[in-house]
Amino acid sequence: MPRKRTRRNEPIELPILAVRDTVLFPHMVAPLFVARDRSLRALDEAMARDRTIVVIAQKDPSQQEITPDDLHAIGTEAAIGRILKMPDGTVSILVQGQRRLQLTEVLQEDPYLKGLLLPVYEAAQKKTLQLEALMRAVLALFEKCVKLSKSLPEDVYIAAMNVDEPGWLADLIASSLDLNLDQRQDVLATLDPTKRLQKISIILAKELEVLELQNKIHSQVQQEVDKNQREFFLREQMKAIQKELGDLDVQTREMEELKKRVSEANLPEAACKKAEEEIQRLAIMPQASPEVSVIRTYLDWLIKLPWTAETPDNLDISQAARTLEENHYGLPKVKERILEFMAVRRLAKEKLRSPILCFMGPPGVGKTSLGRSISQALGRKFLRVSLGGIRDEAEIRGHRRTYVGALPGRVLQTMRNAGTINPVFMLDEIDKVGTDFRGDPSSALLEVLDPEQNFSFSDHYLEVPYDLSKVLFIATCNILDTIPPALRDRMEVIELPGYIEVEKLHIAERFLVPKQLQENGLGPDQLRVTRGALMRLIREYTREAGVRNLEREIGNICRKVARQVVEGKRHPGRITERAVPDFLGPLKFYWGIAEEKDEIGTATGVVWTWVGGDTISVEVTLMKGKGQLTLTGQLGDVMKESAQAALSYARSRADQLGVKANVFEKTDIHIHVPAGAIPKDGPSAGITMATALISALTNRPVRREVAMTGEITLRGRVLPIGGLKEKVLAAHRAGIKTFVLPRKNQKDLVDVPADVKRELSFIFVEEMEEVLNNALLDSQPKEKPATPRGD
């Protein structure tokens, strides 16, 4: 295109073409639409002269009529190429940018804009290393952009590669990128080529980041789409294969069946959602996968657990009272408490939180059978779980499904058997729960028992919360001491202390004998057990606080009789006192006073063990030696300490007792408590040990019909002890006549049945001296001493 030559830095006069939507760069070719009147005239003028015009962008693209102020200062000289006239009077032209021009003055506004412009020459740049590096960096960035971008053709990059001048390169890249008008004008107005290229490099870096991000998003979307398509495809394929193999019908039928069962099971929302998810997983799983059976078992659990089914409570108090009376002898306090509980429940209806009852007492006193009666009275299901020896939290709360063979914990396993959400749930032996590295089961139990938490009990296997709040929990224990305090606080403890002989007799007559007859297939008229026989069973064949062994012995007799009946042998219709050994062999316990005669160095004490109260005899022997004390018979720490205290008391009172002081240095003392297999502990054998010891030291025999209990202090005071009722019952059971006990325990005798009180004489003491006065006879110098005395 021809162009009028001007000399350097000489201003030139040119018609101005104001453009709204583009910025023309030097060397670039661009199509322009010309529509405005003044622009058309400027075009005419340029065509009339040398086809040269200056293209200047206007500051505000939306402005229709412009003044000189509305134009940017830097524009581009353009050579006009092809011109196309449109039917609507507008014109489309093709222009090629030449060089930058700076608008110095607007000479006229009408009929077209004309200005005086100064050419901007770009001095040939010296290619410094820096500049070279910049150019290469820009080119590299541009190459990446071209590769990532969909709109940049590869040709532009090739063109850019062949440009040598930094300013030109910047212009080329700026014109090819999709920049906004301000950015383009900014590049155009940056006259220094190096600076312009730097700007481009910043723009390119940003552009690249955007492009990379776009690409990433795009590929993610693509992946997702691909995955879905792939899954769909595979599933279809699998169906086809299964169809070929004839499996499809079975599997789809099973899925349908499962869905139906889930919808019928009335699951709460969370469980229902979980079940549906699992069914979904199952549907796409190959039949042979080991996961299939895991999911099936899991779904089976979800479906079979009771979620809403409930039995209506029978709150008829008088009927409940009758049920309890029919099943249980005695225990008035316990029965009263149960009926109160039902009464409150009847008044409060739904709002009430179930209290957690805890039955405490020795084995065989009827804790379990009481629980059963409560469920019967309320019309609820009865469940029982033994917690004895549990050390692993997972036993309560289950294993996560990731474990092979995982199952829910015992609580939910038991609930499944119940089939209703409001059974009576008995937690047996809650005092025997242990703790070790496998977690603390009692913390899981806390969650089971705490009314604040147990509406959403979490089992590791089940994964969805389970509501235990409607369950009536009853715990049982032998002792309270080993139950963690947090757990103990949540329970209302009801004590069942054990029975006396008369009570046992009544229980045997009214409940145990009829029950055993029935269990062994005998009619009531086929066998009668006389009172005398029962009494003998109680005294000579059992020694317990409850009636479990008694029931077992009655069962033994019934079985033997049943066999005789079946074998057609003659059998006694009546079991008398004398006939008992024929059935059960020789007696197992000597009833009555433990000792045959008044002995030196042996005293009878009453202590408390986990099977209830029990009598013990403490033996002391003295041997020549160096003053050593030996203790045997599985004594606990506290009991050992009481032995030490007893010894110190005896030493400190040696003078008063008539024992020479040097005896203690020359004698070894051995204290033994027989029945060594049963662990014994507690301070209540203190005065017994002191009595036996002093008897041995002073050669005074102990009166055989006396038993005693009480803690001893170093100064010889007798302190009160716990579990008195149990101990009195045990002394009574053993046939003791005189019972020495701490004065401070006198008040506890109110709990002891009158029958027992009548048969025992109680001596209340405060000082050890009183014990000795009552228990020891005078010394027997004539008899050869059983133990060495001091010389």
Q: What residues act catalytically? A: 684, 727
Spatial distance between the Cα atoms of 465 and 268, rounded to a whole number of angstroms: 10
Q: Is 392 left (phi over 0), alpha (psi -120 to 50) or beta?
A: beta
Task: Enumerate the H helices of 614-702 as residue ranges.
Answer: 637-652, 654-657, 663-666, 686-698
- Under 8 Å between Cβ of 454 and 586: no
Main-chain dihedrals φ then ψ at residue 355, nearest 5 degrees: -75, 160
Query: Crossing angle of helices 248-264/290-304, nearest 10°?
Result: 30
696 residue type, one letter: A
| Shortest-Cβ-distance residue relative to ligand ADP | 366
Per-residue string for binding with ligand ADP, 601-640, x by CB under 6 A? ----------------------------------------
* 157, 298, 329, 664: which one binds ligand ADP (CB under 6 A): 329
Kindly state the smallest distance separating residue 521's Cβ from ligand ADP, in Å.
Answer: 18
- Residue 547 found at the interface with ligand ADP (CB under 6 A): yes
Per-residue string for binding with ligand ADP, 554-583, x by CB under 6 A? ------------------------------
* 41, 328, 651, 737: which one binds ligand ADP (CB under 6 A): 328
- Residue 385 found at the interface with ligand ADP (CB under 6 A): no
> Locate tokens 């350097």: which residue?
8
Kindly state the smallest distance separating residue 527's Cβ from ligand ADP, in Å.
Answer: 18
Coil, strand or helix at 328 = coil
* Residue number, 389 or 573, with CB nearest to ligand ADP: 389
Tokens of 709: 């209990």
Spatial distance between the Cα atoms of 330 and 26, rounded to a whole number of angstroms: 114
Piece in contact with ligand ADP (CB under 6 A), picked from 168-176, 177-185, 299-307, 545-553: 545-553
Piece in contact with ligand ADP (CB under 6 A), picked from 152-160, 184-192, 432-440, 542-550: 542-550
Spatial distance between the Cα atoms of 446 and 787, rounded to a whole number of angstroms: 56
Kindly state the smallest distance separating residue 329's Cβ from ligand ADP, in Å.
Answer: 4
Piece in contact with ligand ADP (CB under 6 A), picked from 260-268, 361-369, 583-591, 679-687: 361-369
- Residue 364 found at the interface with ligand ADP (CB under 6 A): yes
* Residue number, 367 or 410, with CB nearest to ligand ADP: 367
Nearest Cα to Cα of residue 692 among 684, 683, 702, 680: 702
- How far is C-alpha 590 from the chain's CA centre? 52
* 72, 239, 304, 548: which one binds ligand ADP (CB under 6 A): 548
* Residue number, 258 or 426, with CB nearest to ligand ADP: 426
* Residue number, 109 or 509, with CB nearest to ligand ADP: 509
Kindly state the smallest distance separating residue 543's Cβ from ligand ADP, in Å.
Answer: 16
Kindly state the smallest distance separating residue 367's Cβ from ligand ADP, in Å.
Answer: 3
E strands, 288-437, are: 356-360, 382-386, 424-428
- Under 8 Å between Cβ of 546 and 499: yes
- Under 8 Å between Cβ of 110 and 45: no
- Residue 330 found at the interface with ligand ADP (CB under 6 A): yes
Kindly state the smallest distance separating residue 299's Cβ from ligand ADP, in Å.
Answer: 37
- Residue 683 found at the interface with ligand ADP (CB under 6 A): no
Per-residue string for binding with ligand ADP, 504-523, x by CB under 6 A? ---x---x------------
- Under 8 Å between Cβ of 458 and 409: no
* Residue number, 119 or 753, with CB nearest to ligand ADP: 753
Residues contacting ligand ADP: total by CB under 6 A: 17
* CB neighbour list of residue 312: distance below 8 Å, 6 or more residues apart: 379
Kindly state the smallest distance separating residue 479's Cβ from ligand ADP, in Å.
Answer: 13
Per-residue DSSP letters for 549-615? HHHHHHHHHHHHHHHHHHTT----SEE-GGGHHHHH-S-SS--S-S-SS-BTTEEEEEEEETTEEEE
Per-residue string for binding with ligand ADP, 450-489, x by CB under 6 A? ----------------------------------------
* Residue number, 72 or 552, with CB nearest to ligand ADP: 552
Any idea what DSSP says for residue 512? I
Spatial distance between the Cα atoms of 20 and 563, rounded to a whole number of angstroms: 118
Kindly state the smallest distance separating residue 370's Cβ from ligand ADP, in Å.
Answer: 7
Piece in contact with ligand ADP (CB under 6 A), picked from 51-59, 360-368, 386-394, 666-674: 360-368
**How many Cβ atoms from other residues are within 10 Å of residue 3's Cβ?**
12
Query: Across-strand partners of 357?
Result: 474, 492
* Residue number, 72 or 328, with CB nearest to ligand ADP: 328
* Residue number, 386 or 443, with CB nearest to ligand ADP: 386
- Residue 435 found at the interface with ligand ADP (CB under 6 A): no
Kindly state the smallest distance separating residue 626's Cβ from ligand ADP, in Å.
Answer: 48
Piece in contact with ligand ADP (CB under 6 A), picked from 79-87, 449-457, 458-466, 541-549: 541-549
- Residue 331 found at the interface with ligand ADP (CB under 6 A): yes
- Residue 366 found at the interface with ligand ADP (CB under 6 A): yes
Piece in contact with ligand ADP (CB under 6 A), picked from 16-24, 406-414, 546-554, 596-604: 546-554
Piece in contact with ligand ADP (CB under 6 A), picked from 238-246, 448-456, 540-548, 738-746: 540-548
Kindly state the smallest distance separating residue 473's Cβ from ligand ADP, in Å.
Answer: 15
- Under 8 Å between Cβ of 789 and 779: no
* CB neighbour list of residue 564: distance below 8 Å, 6 or more residues apart: 570, 571
323 residue type, one letter: T
- Under 8 Å between Cβ of 114 and 71: no
Spatial distance between the Cα atoms of 116 and 433, rounded to a whole number of angstroms: 102
- Under 8 Å between Cβ of 694 and 716: no
Kindly state the smallest distance separating residue 428's Cβ from ligand ADP, in Å.
Answer: 7
* 214, 215, 369, 417: which one binds ligand ADP (CB under 6 A): 369
* Residue number, 385 or 708, with CB nearest to ligand ADP: 385
Spatial distance between the Cα atoms of 114 and 12, rounded to a whole number of angstroms: 10
Kindly state the smallest distance separating residue 337's Cβ from ligand ADP, in Å.
Answer: 15
* Residue number, 44 or 495, with CB nearest to ligand ADP: 495
Bridging pattern class, strands 382-386 and 424-428: parallel
* Residue number, 100 or 335, with CB nearest to ligand ADP: 335
- Under 8 Å between Cβ of 363 and 497: no
- Residue 368 found at the interface with ligand ADP (CB under 6 A): yes
- Under 8 Å between Cβ of 57 and 23: yes
CA distances from 164 to 28, 135, 136, 159, 540 (A): 16, 9, 11, 10, 121
- Residue 365 found at the interface with ligand ADP (CB under 6 A): yes
- Residue 379 found at the interface with ligand ADP (CB under 6 A): no
Kindly state the smallest distance separating residue 363's Cβ from ligand ADP, in Å.
Answer: 4
CA distances from 475 to 209, 449, 457 (A): 68, 10, 18
Spatial distance between the Cα atoms of 529 and 759, rounded to a whole number of angstroms: 26
Spatial distance between the Cα atoms of 76 and 82, rounded to a whole number of angstroms: 18
Spatial distance between the Cα atoms of 642 and 244, rounded to a whole number of angstroms: 84
For residues 488-507, which are near ligand ADP according to CB under 6 A? 507
Any idea what DSSP says for residue 307? S
- Residue 42 found at the interface with ligand ADP (CB under 6 A): no
Binding site for ligand ADP (CB under 6 A): 328-331, 363-369, 507, 511, 546-548, 551
